[in-house]
Amino acid sequence: MSLAFVEYPAKGDHKATIIWLHGLGDSGDGFLPVASQLALPDELGLRFVFPHAPVQPVTINGGMAMRSWYDIKSMDLDKRADETGVRESAAKVEQLINQELASGIPADKIILAGFSQGGVITLHLAPRLQQKLAGVMALSTYMCAPEKLTTEAKHTDLNVFMAHGSQDPVVPYEAGRHAFDVLTAHNMEVSWQDYPMGHQVCGEELLAIRHWLIARLS
């Protein structure tokens, strides 16, 4: 079954798409306001797609069902992301990318973005796609199975925007830096931003995202 989503349509001709994945327990609606806050130039023709993660039980939350891209059985970072679940969600997000391609939007005009759990999916999927995307945005996040990237990556020249809160109590700063180190070791073009904040997105970060999106899609 394909993922449901909310969207922020392009102003004028649709020329580019950003698919933005939310974090644990949130929904696509959580990041929808960001589309207008970014105040991107109309001439970019940018459509935003905010998918809803499937509802499923999450072990660390007492098995409570909530929107989640994968189960979390342990807070230990090397075991936190359930790899099977990550791959299943990545395949669903790939369907959304394929729909954009089929509608005539080229891969170099598609950005894949994600916050926290959503960022895990973006960092897993983007290097493994057949097509090279315009860029990847990984916010307050970490990597699933980083040791498998060497054998599974189809692109090691991706442009990646990473941002993290230096006081993040949910995804430790070091986890984000480790993902940065893995990606740069694979020769990816990775920029790193950190902000004195917790597990969130701040105004200064949105400004940096705006500049990066304009540079990638102009």
Residues marked as catalytic: 116, 168, 199
What is the 3-class SS of 18-33, one letter each residue? EEEECCCCCCHHHCHH
Q: Which amino acid is at 26?
A: D
CB 25 within 8 A of CB 71: no
CB 202 within 8 A of CB 163: no
CB 110 within 8 A of CB 103: no
What letter does residue 14 receive in the DSSP assignment?
A: -
Distance CA(142)–CA(171), nearest Å, equals 7
Distance CA(126)–CA(83), nearest Å, equals 15
- Element (DSSP H or E) covering residue 83: helix 83-102
Residue with tokens 């005539």: 104
